[in-house]
Amino acid sequence: MKTATMLDHILDFLTFRYLISPYALMVFYYLGAVMMPLAMWFFWIWLKRRYIRLSQARDKLGTLGRDYLSPAQRAGIVIGCILCFFMMELFWRMMFELMIAYFHMAEDIQALVR
């Protein structure tokens, strides 16, 4: 049995025999899962400050919503938005799980070849 030296590990890394993608993907997943909602929130605040008419339209829409929608309908809209947010997060997770599974399969196939 061959013992792997530090030079062998470095050579495997440089020749792409050792994949860092599964570990990097986990970092990007958590960054995206936390940063995307925050970025969306900050972008909405920026839009409101940048475009005053957008803020005025949002206020008018809120007034119309309170005047013409029942509390049950408004609650349904809020629940729908929350469900959409969770579906977005679930899709983000599933996309990264698929990529990580692919890279694990690639590593296992490479191990079988060696």
> How far is 74 from 94, CA to CA, in rounded Å?
30
Largest separation between any pair of C-alpha atoms in the chain:
77
pLDDT tens, position by position, 16-40: 777 777 778 888 999 999 998 999 8
Does the pTM exceed 0.85? no
Q: Which two tokens stand for residue 8?
A: 């062998």
What proportion of the chain, given as a percentage, has pLDDT over 90? 34
Q: Is the pLDDT higher at 107 or at 101?
A: 101
Q: In terms of C-beta density within 10 A (0-12 exposed, 13-18 middle, 19 or more buried), how is residue 41 classed? A: exposed
So what's the pLDDT on residue 1?
Answer: 42
